[in-house]
Amino acid sequence: MSILSVNINKIATLRNARGGNIPNVLQAALDIESFGAQGITVHPRPDGRHIRYSDVFDLKDNITTELNVEGYPSDDFIQMVLEVKPHQVTLVPDAPEALTSNAGWKVNEHHLQLRSLVEILKKKGIRTSIFIDPDETQIKAAVDTGVDRVELYTENYAKQFLGDRNAAIAPYRKSAETAHQLGLGVNAGHDLSLENLAFFKQQVSPLQEVSIGHALICDALYFGLENTVKMYLHQLQK
């Protein structure tokens, strides 16, 4: 079964726009869990423009599903996740000032750094994942870092989906097969939506987890949060 982990960064962005605690990020996460999602994802950045480190501690203390914390492995980020001990840490190579994630790791170039970080996290019992392009060379290199999973960066799939879905999915299908053969779990995320999720799930196997935030929260403006979570779960079950 592929689990749905809902990225709640956009809820925090809305809260931060006015100050205060509306909408309540923790309550939103608890509601999302109650609507059937099997995980919560957050991606704190140093400027605190959406999820704050304090949110991560609150979530770990209160949610009952999996907590996936994504981020660039700065010293502050690593110290925070070692204290929080989420179920999973996904290492992302974006610079601290980046608007959003826009590329996967060049694993060979950062092999020693990633291997060291993975070792530190796994000693604390934290499942590790690295954000990666659908490139077999990078996936093969990831094995030697000791990481548990790779998260396939799916922006290119989403961009190509309407034009030629079969061409769009091909590198992801092959990458997932390679990762599985090498003993790596497979996650996926970035620009997955109600429009393209079911086909991705049908074609990419095995797929442990999808992390979806922007599209899901946008859809919730029209369909309501509960209905939207259930609609995404339905797409994963097709």
Active site residues: 43, 70, 190
- Angle CA(122)–CA(151)–CA(110) in degrees, nearest 5? 65
Q: With b meaning 16 or more CB within 10 Å and e meaning fewer, what string describes 68-87?
A: bbbbbbeeebbebbeebebb
DSSP single-letter state for residue 107:
T
Under a CB-based contact definition with an 8 Å cutoff, are residues 173 and 204 in contact? yes
Rounded to whole angstroms, the Cα distance separating 173 from 204 reads 5
Those residues with Cβ within 8 angstroms of residue 143's Cβ, 6 or more apart along the chain or in another chain: 182, 183, 184
DSSP single-letter state for residue 2:
P
Rounded to whole angstroms, the Cα distance separating 63 from 98 reads 28
- Angle CA(119)–CA(122)–CA(126) in degrees, nearest 5? 145
Residues in the chain: 238
